[in-house]
Amino acid sequence: MPLTYAQFAGDLASALSGFLDRAEARAESRRWLQEGLDLSPSWLLAHGDDPVPDGDRARVAQWLERRRQGEPWSYILGWCAFRGRRFSVTRDTLIPRPETELVLEAALEVGRRLGVLHACDVGTGSGILAVCMALETDWEIQASDISPGALKAARANAAALGAKVAFRRGHLLAPLKEPLGLVVSNPPYVDPADAPGLQRELAFEPATALFAPDRGLALSAEILREARRRAAPGCVLEIGAGQGEELKARALASGWKRAVVHQDLAGHDRCLMALL
C-alpha cells in the first residue's frame, strides 16, 4: 500500500515528537507540510488519501535528519515570516521572533509621536526592523551591521520586499550618517554565562548576534550612550528578561530624560524606550 498524505503527516509528527514535545511536534509538522511542501490545510484535507511522491518523502527525510541535529526549521526552510512578510534567513542572521514585533510597534508609535523623518536600525541582521519601518512609514531609513553575511541577507530582503533602506557596515552606530533620527535596535543581550542552559537550536544562530558582555547589557548600554551623544530624539531597544530596571538607570545616566520598559505577553521585560 502506498503511503498517503494523512499517514505521512502522522508519521512526521511522531518523528518530531522524538525530540520535541507533542504539541510542538504537531505544530511543526503542519509547518513542514504547509511551508516546506507548499500544501495548504484545505488541500491536505481533500487529498489525505493521495499517495506521497518519492520526491516529497526524500525531501522530508533530509529535513528530518538536519532537524534531529538541532538545526532550526527556519534555517532548513531558508525563510521566516515576520509581520506577514517572508524574510530570508541564513546562518549569518538571527531567526526573527514574534516578540520583536512589540519592539517594532513601540518604534512606530514613538516615531510618529515625535514626528521623526529619519530612523535607523542598529545591528539589523536579516533586516526585519529596517524593512518594516521603510514599508510602513515615510521615514528615511538606514541600517547597520558588523557582519557582511547579515548585510547581504538584509539587502536581499529589502530588494525582495521593495523597501528602500541604506545599509552600512560597521559597529553599532559608528557607520550611520546624520541625522540618525529614531534609533531602533534588537541588539545582542544574552548573558554569556547563560549559554550552557540555552536550547540547543541557539547553537546554530550567530553568537555575535546573541551574546553581549556585562551580563548581556554592554551593547544596549553603548547604544543608549551613543544615541544620546549623537542627539537622537529617542531610542527603542529590545531587551532581555530582567534587564529593564538596570537599563532604565543606565539610560537616565546617559542623559535621557525618560525611560520606560514594556513587557511581553509572558510578563517579561522586552522593550526599553528612552526619550528626551
pLDDT at 56: 96
What's at 227, amino acid-wise? A
pLDDT at 242: 97
Q: Which percentage of the chain shows pLDDT scores above 90?
A: 99
In the chain, domain spans: 5-69, 90-275
Q: How does pLDDT run across 140-184, given as a tens digit for each residue?
A: 999 999 999 999 999 999 999 999 999 999 999 999 999 999 999
pLDDT at 138: 98
Residue 104 pLDDT grade (very low, low, confident, very high; cuts 50, 70, 90): very high
Q: How does pLDDT run across 51-89, given as a tens digit for each residue?
A: 999 999 999 999 999 999 999 999 999 999 999 999 999
Using alpha carbons, select from 272, 247, 274, 243 the residue that is nearest to residue 258: 274
| Grid coordinates belonging to 55 | 520526491
Quick check: 99 and 238 in contact, CB under 8 A? yes
> pTM of the entire structure?
0.95
Q: Does position 1 have pLDDT exceeding 90, yes or no? A: no
pLDDT at 135: 98
User: What Rg value do the Cα atoms of the chain yield, rounded?
Assistant: 21
pLDDT at 156: 98
Residues 6+ apart with CB under 8 A from 82: 96, 100, 101, 128, 132
Residue 77 burial (CB < 10 Å; 0-12/13-18/19+)? middle
Measured CA distances, 11 to 8, 16, 64 (Å): 5, 9, 11
d(CA 134, CA 162): 9
Read off the pLDDT of each residue in 228-247 and give the average, rounded to a whole number: 98
Q: Does position 18 have pLDDT exceeding 90, yes or no? A: yes
Quick check: 184 and 119 in contact, CB under 8 A? yes
| Multiple choice CATH, 90-275, 2.40.340.10, 1.10.10.10, 3.40.50.300, 3.40.50.150 | 3.40.50.150
Mean pLDDT over the full length of the chain: 97
